[in-house]
Chains A and B, each alone.
Chain A
Amino acid sequence: MDETLKCERLKSRRAWRSTSGGWNIKRDWQLYVMLLIPVVYIVIFKYIPMYGVLIAFKDFNIFQGIFKSEWVGTEMFQQLWTMQDFRRAFRNTLMLNVLDLAVGFPVPVFLALCLNELKNLKFKKISQTLLYLPYFMSWVIIGGIVYQLFSTNTGMVNQIIKAAGGEVVPFLTNKWYWVITYLFSGIWRSAGWNTIIYMAAITGVDASLYEAAEVDGAGRIRKMISITLPSIKPTIVIMLIMQVGQMMTIGFERPYVMGNNLVMDFSDVLSTFVYRLGLQNGKFSLSTAAGFFQSVVGLILISSANLISEKMGQRGIW
Chain B
Amino acid sequence: MKKMKTGFGKLDFLFTVIVGAAVLVTIIPFLNVIAMSLSSPEAITRGSVWLWPAGLNAEAYKAVFTDLSMIWALVYTIILTIFYTVLAMILTVLLAYPLTKNRLRGRKFFTFIFVFTMYFSGGVIPEYILFKNLKIINTMTVLVIPGLLSVYNMIILKSFLMGLPASIEESAYLDGASDFCILFKIILPLSKPILATLCLFYAVFRWNTFQDVLYFVTNSKLYTLQLKLNMLINITQSSELTQFEGANPTRIAAENIKSASIIFATVPIVLVYPWLQKYFVTGMTLGAVKE
Contacts and interface: CB of A to CB of B under 8 A. Distances in A.
Interface of A: 9, 12-13, 16-19, 21-24, 27-28, 30-32, 34-35, 37-39, 41-42, 44-53, 55, 62, 66, 111, 114-115, 117-120, 123-124, 126-127, 129-134, 136-141, 143-149, 151-154, 156, 158-160, 162, 170, 172-173, 188, 191-193, 196-197, 200, 214, 220-221, 238, 242, 252-253, 256-257, 260-262, 274-275, 278-279, 284, 287-288, 291-292, 294-295, 298-299, 302-303, 315, 317-318
Contacts of A117: 11-12, 15
B25 A188 contact: yes
Contacts of A143: 230, 233
A53 B123 contact: yes
Interface stretch (B62-70, B189-197, B237-245): B237-245
Given A115-B19, A138-B210, A34 B94 contact: yes
Interface string B201-241: 00010011111001100000000001101100100111011
Contacts of B280: 132, 136
A28 B103 contact: yes
Interface residues of B, number: 110
Contacts of A16: 103, 170, 173-174
Given A18-B103, A41-B91, A197-B288, A49 B123 contact: yes
Contact of A148 (B27, B124, B146, B258): B258
A147 B149 contact: no
6 contacts: A16-B174, A38-B95, A39-B113, A123-B16, A274-B123, A274-B124
Given A154-B45, A200-B285, 14 more contacts: A19-B102, A49-B129, A143-B233, A144-B258, A145-B30, A145-B262, A146-B29, A148-B258, A156-B32, A188-B25, A188-B26, A288-B125, A295-B120, A295-B121
A35 B95 contact: yes
Contacts of A170: 244
A48 B117 CA distance: 12
A38 B114 contact: yes
A149 B49 CA distance: 11
Given A9-B174, A35-B95, A50-B121, A154 B26 contact: no
Chain A interface mostly helix, strand, loop or mixed?
Answer: helix
Contacts of A156: 28, 32, 49-51
B82 interface: no
A145 B33 contact: yes
Chain B interface mostly helix, strand, loop or mixed?
Answer: helix
Nearest to B115: A318
A160 B29 CA distance: 13
Contact of A299 (B120, B204, B233, B240): B120
Interface in B10-41: 11-12, 15-16, 18-20, 22-23, 25-30, 32-33, 36
Contact of B19 (A127, A256, A257): A127
A132 B26 CA distance: 9
A37 B244 contact: no
B44 to A, nearest CB: 5
Contacts of A134: 26
